[in-house]
Homo-oligomer: A and B are copies of this chain.
């Protein structure tokens, strides 16, 4: 593994999950790997779990960590080529990425989509350029279309808690008051499509994910039907892919409640966080015994550490 941007960067998913679980048992066994290696974490957007868990993972491996809030502490970045930079952007990604690559052995980057131009966001232009110019391994801390460290933590969580060989996993859309990226949903879908699970997606019409990510997963527009016999429910809001970046429904009936849980096989409930209580998920679920949300967040350390370990081993 050179970069970690999507599930396609993973050679063997099963082995990677095992590596993460082994690190969870013995976090400090590979401290020599990161000696005199520096991880740069570059944020163009807010972050809590990713910021803390990735630092922790790197420290566990003996790495040095330098954190930079590009938007607040650095310079506004230009990504378009051939442009005359006579407006707000102060530095081109060609220089910024190349320079950071001189100081860091591995770089993690978070850059959300603008949700204005579908083609631009889905081209992952920012990440592709960052990879091209930085010239060191790049880890996505969430890109315009994917959030692989989250999905990897999710699959670890399912592996740890499943009580049958091939559980039924339902990704359900949830209401929200703002237009959010599709990244977490896209990413969860592409990881589930590679996992040994029965995977179903449910959402109101108009919220279809890009087929590139949803793949062959059945889409069920009736949430109650989709939830039947579910072992895991992954709750997440996203804005429309088709009517790009728009909120085409805020139907509060889609909020998961204990009543809806009765339809399932006593399903475990997952969410990447942050979650809006009373909008996306009922308090009773988050405070109840079926919630795995804190468990998932805790596993972010081990997903990040497994990826960093793999990159350190294969590239240095």
Contacts and interface: CB of A to CB of B under 8 A. Distances in A.
Given A48-B68, A56-B66, A103-B52, A293 B95 contact: yes
A183 B276 CA distance: 31
B59 A40 contact: no
Q: Which residue, A96, A277, A287, A301, has most C-beta atoms of chain B within 10 A?
A: A277
Interface string A184-218: 00000000000000000000000000000000000
B47 A78 contact: no
Interface stretch (A13-21, A69-77, A160-168, A238-246): A69-77
Contact of A52 (B55, B75, B98, B104): B104
| Overall SS of chain A's interface | mixed
A73 B85 contact: no
Contact of A103 (B66, B69, B70, B301): B301
B48 A75 contact: yes
A46 interface: yes
A293 B97 CA distance: 13
Contacts of A28: 36
A70 B274 CA distance: 13
A73 B46 contact: yes
A95 to B, nearest CB: 6
Given A85-B276, A92-B275, 12 more contacts: A46-B74, A48-B73, A48-B99, A59-B64, A85-B277, A85-B278, A90-B274, A91-B273, A95-B275, A95-B294, A95-B297, A98-B297
In order of increasing CB-CB distance, the 9 nearest A-B pairs are: A91-B274, A84-B278, A102-B298, A85-B276, A48-B74, A99-B297, A52-B103, A98-B294, A59-B64
